[in-house]
Chains A and B, each alone.
Chain A
Amino acid sequence: MLKAENVNAGYGDVQILWDMNMEVEEHSITALIGSNGVGKTTFIRTVAGALQPFNGKISFMGEDITHLPQTRRTRMGIMMVPEGRQLYSGLTVEDNLMMGAYIRKDREKIRRDLDWIYTVMPRLKERRKQIAGTLSGGEAQMCAISRGLMASPKLLMLDELSLGLAPVLVDDLTKILKKIHTDWDITIILVDQDVQTALEIADRGYVMVEGHVEMSDSSEKLLKNEEIRRAYMGM
């Protein structure tokens, strides 16, 4: 569904991605892991269209999207949930969620999607009239993921799902993510610093080192592989 070929990208003349290659199958959950500064966020920003690559090719559902603007990619079904959630802190929870559906016109389906979210995450329903800036970390993360879902994306990319959250909240989010994957026609890319959590959720993992993919395998095999630690530690 998603294919990145020899993508080089960065900020100004600081290059972060060096010949990045990755393939993601439809309906899969893929974990993108690696030590800090290796380019995980830069990569998903490049896929989302928030950042233009220097060169290389990105295709989505067989179509070359390398030079499409972010708005077009959003309409094609590519959605990114950024690190730090970036909610509209002055808007209510429900307004935040509805902002996610901004590009959609299928009102009935929007209503049903919102109901699904409120059923699976009753905390958001309880707080739907509450200003988003007053949410706890776990609730804010749920709200950010749900806002992404409200765009009804085909590909949902999550940047740092578990960062700064207590283990019990991470367990809740893991369950929610699995439920999303079961109930929605969706493909997920998960970036997380918690290797165990990311690989337990994902079918397949990619390990990045210095701006490119150093190794990739099924999550099960990666978790048993000491090479991950070597990739992180550089020796």
Chain B
Amino acid sequence: MSTVILEGKKVSKKFGALKAVWRVDFQVRQGEILGIIGPNGAGKTTLLSMINGTETLSEGEIFFKREKISGLKPFRIAEKGISRTFQVVKPFPGMTLLENVAIGALFGKDKIGNAKIAQEKTREILDRVNLGGKADVAVENLNISERKRLELARALAMDPELILMDEVMAGLNRAELDLIMELIQNLNKEGRTIVLIEHVMRAIMGVSQRIIVIHHGKKIAEGTPEEIKNNDDVISAYLGARYAKMRGRNAEG
């Protein structure tokens, strides 16, 4: 079994009395694609935010390559090799794609001080996400599919070992969806570990090697997509407890 690159122990987040994420233990293995699913408000994005440091933990610890990262500032965590994308994409307005991505290259993990080298690297990255032709276009002129891929490009500019993706597929049509799924698989093939949150079930079940299911802030299941789709607790969370119960009864009878 491959080594664990990211580990969470009893990771918890309370907002007042609300336990948004509660004592979640998780492990991400080097080189895998791990999917996180769960009904609306389950705590998926909060979990992601605690990993990259944009939310603090109420309890628990997170380790990246055996080093404790919980408690560090987001930019420190980014420097260690963890990038993330945001569900609501907010590129720097008034700037071109190239400038948006170059910021990550200039100030990220590698801190490429040289603007020219950063630019070259940025063009390569934009090519990778099929945005090479739009490098000098202002970000305001992008459609949703392009904005999602720009978000990925910005994350890639840091040359991360681990990429956290928050709903990069929402709002895309089938062709755009296939494009981004292929992109994710290619990034994974070159050795990057990927953790992604997604509501488009066909996509996440297809692309992930393992799935973690969060419901009401707790981890209720973990396994391969095949195991997850047959898991009673998951069916109960998604289709309702009564449906899961009746289904079990029908299966017995």
Contact = CB atoms under 8 A, between A and B. Distances in A.
Interface string B229-252: 100001100111111011100100
B206 A235 contact: yes
Interface residues of B, number: 31
Contacts of A216: none
A76 B226 CA distance: 48
- Interface residues of chain B: helix, strand, loop or mixed (majority): helix
A194 B243 contact: yes
B24 interface: no
Contacts of B202: 209-210, 234-235
B39 interface: yes
Interface in A217-235: 223-224, 228-230, 232-235
B138 interface: no
B191 interface: no
- Highest count of chain B CB atoms <10 Å: which of A18, A193, A235: A235
B184 interface: no
B143 A194 contact: no
Interface of B: 39-40, 143-144, 170-171, 173, 199-206, 225-226, 228-229, 234-235, 238-243, 245-247, 250
27 contacts: A13-B171, A14-B144, A14-B171, A15-B144, A35-B199, A37-B170, A38-B199, A193-B238, A194-B240, A195-B239, A196-B239, A196-B242, A196-B243, A196-B245, A197-B242, A209-B201, A209-B202, A210-B200, A210-B202, A233-B201, A233-B238, A234-B201, A234-B203, A234-B206, A234-B229, A235-B201, A235-B229
* Across the A-B interface, the 6 shortest Cβ-Cβ residue pairs: A234-B201, A14-B171, A37-B199, A194-B240, A234-B202, A196-B242
